Chain A
């Protein structure tokens, strides 16, 4: 099955300020095989491939391409050597044609700098022919008119037109539906058949089972397992998550601590969510698990009125509420702490205080004094910061100078001042170092103990399991399973991917 070694990465170490992203990671890829690189979000998979392509340079270790040591300082250099990386964020131009995108930056020219459009079209045709008749678009189609799966095929075609020997795909199915996934799998099979080496980054078991010849698992920047053939699913999962999580998380809620339902959804649905029936109880932390695109974030956005439900009804403490914008949701007692703090949570140029006070000010009289609102005064906010042990040179410094953990504390303080009944945490510890995480978990538990309902959404499965009293599993926009505290990762992950496995069997 496996051919000659195409590239080899030896003991790669990559350090970012404050964190060792890769620790002596080795990885080998052979011609004519699919090598799955598995691991949870943030394990270091993408970083490793960025080192390969030359986006990052490793501090230690060496890369050998067909036996020769190489060092890339720009992705162009690795491209020229036949290494193509397809990122999750496509680098395509929507208003240009397929052919123009494939030849972006290296358009063939004739005399006087005139484009050799004929050759571009011809070579694009030739590359697209490798897809058989599955692509259903031509060289002159505008990329913006293609669906996501087809756009991905353009990215693959770009790699093929460069005659890439190594193609790295970073979670290529993240935005694809089942039919599109199957199409992609067939393409990957073809590429393998052509003798190319595929590195397939994923955390989905069914894709590994369907495609991979070999599997390497990394976790926290280290290789935890490497299999020359695909082993049982449980062994991969074990290598992906097996960490001691015991003391890291606060105690779960006792039965008596759990109160009445704060929020009830019946038959909630919109374009991304279907038949959502949901009760969130006071004193309880409810975690949401599921693969990317399963609908967890969509549910948070629906509850917060940012992408509202179109059908069904929502009640807060028994009263019907309409949630069509975030302001209404906040007034109904719902708070959301967004996952992308920089883009959605912080007003970066303003002080820590201004960030903390933002919601208080949004809901106080417009002409009232900003520091003396009846909802909460600046002094009270300062005390809340103190209580959270928010560390800053002064509360007047711009919030962008703070660490992720301290920024998160300011946003939590912002919402607590409104005394919400439900707090939705989206990726609460993204970009936060391990030592601060425990503090955030403790805080979430404390909020629940004080009588709020807490919802936790995270793509870090151990985190969801560790923090939650109850875990709901989502898949394809529906809630498909429920587990109590202490569920194993294997059973949750199984439930999260079961729908897909079922399809595959049929």
Chain B
């Protein structure tokens, strides 16, 4: 029993402690509207973090995710400009953009051998450039109700939980699919093996380029989905995605994912995203100004890596 406890990922314990702290400080959090609101806010970052985990497990980084969120919001609002009937094909088009962006990232890494951090950095600059050019620097157009439905609609009058935001359903569905792909398919096992030791994976027959393309595409698709949610509840702005890629990496690292690949689970990454969001909520309740979030995020990012390294060395791994 003690052994199992020791082996358990500490992120779950941290999350529990944070929830308890928040609940004590703000009983509102125990109401369905309280925790559902919390989950709704956490949904985009959780989705982004799990997408990012695909790239991290493959041994890379995806810094272009935040810019892709912005592009999704800006692009959708310009394309739609309130035209509700176009919502579905715009969403499809945006997912297509996501697949393209991910594929380009992966091919630049695989074929041109550019380190993923530089490749996705270039993509990030390019995507924000496209978003700015397209919009002319200020948000234009607006998103119709049926597009904002995903981010903002609440299903009401449910038994037990009373309300259920659509964003939470989206989060659960997307994360479940990504959990399945990572942990219950051959693809996921190939991905993790490739991040662990690309040479051994290659010599065992794993198709590296194909595996990498899917990993980057998953990250980009999750960015598009996060963008659709954020467009729904935060509205259109040109800085909606700024810094989200770092939050996603931070969440994955808090969840114990190993940078440069080979170790990291979807469940722990979701927990990491919730820890990050809970930390922000707690700081808010305690009345700290918003900027303190950054300081805390920076400190936990470093500490998570230090602690993970320490645990690994101690266990002799």
Contact = CB atoms under 8 A, between A and B. Distances in A.
Given A361-B190, A367-B181, 9 more contacts: A304-B203, A343-B199, A344-B203, A358-B201, A358-B206, A362-B190, A362-B205, A363-B205, A370-B184
B291 interface: no
B197 interface: yes
A346 to B, nearest CB: 6
A61 to B, nearest CB: 31
A361 B262 CA distance: 16
**Most chain A Cβ neighbours within 10 Å, of B186, B188, B189, B192:** B186
A327 B200 contact: no
A261 B217 CA distance: 45
Interface string B177-206: 000010011111110110011011111111
A350 B196 contact: yes
Contact of A346 (B189, B190, B200, B258): B200
B224 to A, nearest CB: 21
B136 interface: no
Contact of A373 (B186, B197, B202, B204): B186
Given A362-B190, A370-B185, A348 B203 contact: no
A505 interface: no
Given A348-B197, A349-B263, A349-B317, A362 B187 contact: no
A327 B202 CA distance: 8
A409 interface: no
A306 B198 CA distance: 13
A370 B188 contact: yes
Given A346-B200, A350-B196, A350-B262, A367 B206 contact: no
Interface residues of B, number: 26
Contacts of A354: 189, 192-193
Contacts of B129: none
A387 interface: no
B189 A369 contact: no
Interface of A: 304, 306, 326-327, 330-331, 336, 338, 343-350, 354, 357-359, 361-370, 373, 398, 400, 414
B193 A330 contact: no
Interface in B199-245: 199-207, 214
A385 B43 CA distance: 43
A423 to B, nearest CB: 14
Contacts, number: 96
A326 B207 CA distance: 9
A180 B175 CA distance: 61
Contacts of B192: 347, 350, 354
B204 A414 contact: yes
Nearest to A337: B203
B125 to A, nearest CB: 29
Contact of B189 (A336, A343, A358): A358
**Most chain B Cβ neighbours within 10 Å, of A344, A362, A365:** A362
Nearest to B183: A370
B202 to A, nearest CB: 6
Contacts of B187: 366-367
Contacts of B199: 343-344
B186 A347 contact: no
**Most chain B Cβ neighbours within 10 Å, of A338, A350, A359, A363:** A350
B50 to A, nearest CB: 18
Nearest to B186: A361
Interface string B89-119: 0000000000000000000000000000000
Contacts of A365: 186
Interface in B151-184: 181, 184
A414 B205 CA distance: 11
Contact of A347 (B185, B188, B262): B262
Interface string B12-50: 000000000000000000000000000000000000000
A382 to B, nearest CB: 16
A349 B258 contact: yes
Given A326-B202, A349-B317, A361-B190, A366 B185 contact: yes
A357 B205 contact: no
What 5 pairs across the A-B complex have the smallest Cβ distances? A362-B205, A347-B196, A361-B186, A366-B187, A330-B205
**Most chain B Cβ neighbours within 10 Å, of A336, A346, A358, A373:** A358
